[in-house]
Amino acid sequence: MNFELHNRRILVTGATSGIGLDIARSLAELGAELVLFGRNRDQLAELEQELEARTQAVDITDEAAVVAAFVEMPVLDGLVNCAGISILDDVLDIQANDLENIMATNVTASAVVAREAARHMIAHGRQGSIVNVSSQAAMAALPGHLGYCASKAAMDAMTRVLCLELGPKGIRVNSVNPTVTLTPMAERAWADPAKRDPMLAAIPLGRFATPREVALPVAFLLSPAASMISGACLPVDGGFTCH
């Protein structure tokens, strides 16, 4: 089985930080040619040098900007939809504007990027792969996560529809659904034992994921080794969602 990605060009959104940054680095190690979207121009410039990647500053919530970014896009073999936001509030405190912002980024923008990437692959005769970075929050209720849970559940539903419609075009579509992943931001957010310990107790493996442990399943789903896998929502959660 071939897990390598040589001669495959992959677009990664949200590539300048967090899980997206580790995904980009892991894909580069496996030989992929990268196109990276992000909003931090300085970080994009650094990644352009580090990973020999093509980079573009794009606000994916701006549909016109996304469409424009694909005008001179090199031929793609894959997409990783990783850009996303999280706004956490208890149900009694949630604001409509927060819900709209979460859905606009995690669902609408991801759908627009997937649409443009699929159009691009089809126009160039490529049978590619799309991976949406979802969450265990799509599969289990989490306190304070109403908007986030709803957005990631919508992303999984989107994955299945994309699978159904794009499969006949030879494009596979899957999601990965990680648990808490220890990016620098998450390490700070989960440092309080009162918050951390109950979550760890609910994970059978007893620990959180590293970004690398999320990046490698993404790489697998992009690779020829996953050539018959489409429409899957893959938990990368140490068993959290087995309850």
Whether the per-residue pLDDT at 6 is higher than 80: the answer is yes
Please give the Cα distance from 29 to 158 (Å, whole number). 29
Distance CA 41, CA 51 (A): 15
Q: Note whether 137 and 145 are within 8 A (CB).
A: yes
Residue 154 has what pLDDT? 98
Residues 103-159: tens digit of each pLDDT: 999 999 999 999 999 999 999 999 999 999 999 999 999 999 999 999 999 999 999
- CA pair distance 234, 209, nearest whole angstrom: 14
Label residue 92 exposed, middle or buried (CB < 10 Å: 0-12, 13-18, 19+): exposed
What span, in angstroms and rounded, lies between the C-alpha atoms of 108 and 102? 9
- Report the distance separating Cα 90 and Cα 98, nearest Å: 12
* Residues 91-101, mean pLDDT to the nearest whole number: 95
Residue 1 has pLDDT above 70, yes or no: no
**Residue 3 confidence class, pLDDT cut points 50, 70, 90:** confident
Residue 130's SS3 state is strand
Q: What is the mean pLDDT of residues 84-93?
A: 93
Cα 161-165-168 angle, rounded to 5 deg: 140
Domains of the chain from N-terminus onward: 9-182+210-236 (3.40.50.720)
194: left (phi over 0), alpha (psi -120 to 50) or beta: alpha
Share above pLDDT 70 across residues of the chain, in percent, rounded to a whole number: 99
Neighbours of 50 (CB within 10 A): 11
pLDDT at 162: 98
> In whole angstroms, what is the distance from residue 93 CA to residue 27 CA?
40
200 pLDDT band (50/70/90 cuts)?
A: very high
Amino acid at 49: Q
The pLDDT tens digits for 163-196 are 999 999 999 999 999 999 999 989 998 999 999 9
Q: What is the mean pLDDT of the chain?
A: 96
pLDDT number for residue 161: 98
Mode of pairing for the β-strands spanning 33-38 and 54-57 = parallel
The per-residue pLDDT for 4 is 82
State residue 206's pLDDT score: 97
**148 catalytic, yes or no?**
yes
Q: Which residue, among 199, 195, 147, has the nearest Cα to 178 in the 3D structure? A: 199
Catalytic residue, candidates 19, 56, 81, 148: 148
